[in-house]
């Protein structure tokens, strides 16, 4: 187990100026509430609406659930810290945050790959779509995404727990992550850093390669479709591609490069922990007529029942 010399960590936070921190709280609280509300609305709508029974919407609902969990591992603590003079977290609490943050992060990556496969089957093998994307397979793919996240996170934690942490106890970030925590270890963490880079980096790179390959195949196959068919397919794929870029861009910037200044890391991390989870439901609902219609029907029904 980690050395008992350090049991509590001080988090430097995003900014040091108390006034700037208050402004950040006012800005980020509505963003987090919108994230929970927007993603929760998608989960509820897909669960209730009979018109959203296709595998695509099942995966979208699963992604929204993961997004909510992913953001919630970091943002609530981050928001309370913005109003605190001294920001602290126990070493055990730090390890727990890292564990769940990586579970949900990798589960999201794998779900995005699953969604790309779903679009590939729908566009390239439309006559066999419902046969291939059966309900049991869909459940297995989602469960596999969660399992992949759990296995990945266990590896990260197993190499971190034995490290001796004997000071300093200041973590230069606004939440707990592996690289800033490694800086506090009383031994050289080069090997652990390489394992983390291989674990996180390879998952990101291979997933991105699969995603790019899937969409290249989809785009090539669309040449055989009618103009209307191409338009509908591209509209659906565009939302997914936008979400992939928003997620993978910052993640690859942080993990597939040598460590640089934590100020840059923190600002990039704000984007993918606070902003991106809010944008995803907006991207999917604004570009998807079926989801918008289902939401209107659902909330129209709720309002009529209340009157």
Read off the CATH number of the domain in which 98 is found: 1.20.1070.10
**Order of strands, edge to edge, in the sheet holding 170-171?**
88-90, 8-11, 170-171
Residue 158 lies in a domain: yes
Mean pLDDT of 223-232: 80
3-class secondary structure, 220: helix
Q: Which of 110, 111, 90, 87 is nearest to 24 (CA)?
A: 87
Task: Count CB atoms within 10 A of the CB of residue 129.
Answer: 16
**pTM of the predicted model as reported, rounded to 2 decimal places:** 0.90
Quote the tokens at residue 236.
Answer: 């659906």
70-104 pLDDT, tens digit per residue, is: 999 999 999 999 999 889 999 999 999 999 999 99
Domain that holds residue 160: 8-306
Determine the straight-line distance between the first and last CA of the chain, rounded to whole angstroms. 59
CA dist 127 and 152 (Å) reads 36
Residue 78 has which token pair? 């981050």
Determine, yes or no, domain membership for 3: no
SS3 state at 185: strand
Within a domain: 222: yes
Task: Assess if residue 25 is contained within a domain.
Answer: yes
Provide the domain count of the chain: 1
Query: In this structure, what is the dihedral angle of CA atoms 40, 44, 45, 47, given to the nearest 10 degrees?
Result: 140
Q: List residues bridging with 171 in a β-sheet.
A: 11
Q: What is the pLDDT of residues 119-135, one digit of tens each?
A: 999 999 989 999 999 99
Query: At which residue do the structure tokens 């597939």 appear?
Result: 256
């Amino acid at each position: 187990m980690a050395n008992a010399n350090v049991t509590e960590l001080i988090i430097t936070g995003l900014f040091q100026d108390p006034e700037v921190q208050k402004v950040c709280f006012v800005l980020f609280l509505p963003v987090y509430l919108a994230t929970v509300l927007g993603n929760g609305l998608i989960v509820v709508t897909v669960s209730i609406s009979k018109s959203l029974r296709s595998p695509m919407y099942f995966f979208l609902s699963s992604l929204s659930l993961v997004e909510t969990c992913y953001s919630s591992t970091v943002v609530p603590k981050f928001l309370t810290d913005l109003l605190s003079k001294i920001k602290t977290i126990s070493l055990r609490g730090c390890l727990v945050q890292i564990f769940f943050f990586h579970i949900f992060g990798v589960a999201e990556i794998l779900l995005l790959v699953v969604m790309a496969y779903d679009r590939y089957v729908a566009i390239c093998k439309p006559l066999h779509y419902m046969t291939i994307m059966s309900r049991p397979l869909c459940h297995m793919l989602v469960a596999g995404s969660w399992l992949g996240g759990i296995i990945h996170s266990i590896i990260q934690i197993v190499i971190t727990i034995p490290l001796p942490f004997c000071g300093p106890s200041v973590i230069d970030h606004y939440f707990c992550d592996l690289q800033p925590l490694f800086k506090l270890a009383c031994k050289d963490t080069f090997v652990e850093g390489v394992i983390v880079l291989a674990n996180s980096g390879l998952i990101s790179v291979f997933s991105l390669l699969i995603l790019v390959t899937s969409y290249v195949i989809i785009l090539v196959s669309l040449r055989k479709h009618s103009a209307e068919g191409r338009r509908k397919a591209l509209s659906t794929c565009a939302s997914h591609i936008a979400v992939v870029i928003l997620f993978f861009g910052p993640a690859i910037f942080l993990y597939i490069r040598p460590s640089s200044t934590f100020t840059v890391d923190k600002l990039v991390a704000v984007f993918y922990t606070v902003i991106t989870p809010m944008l995803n439901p907006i991207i999917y609902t604004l570009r998807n007529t079926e989801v918008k219609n289902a939401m209107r029907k659902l909330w129209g029904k709720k309002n009529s029942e209340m009157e």
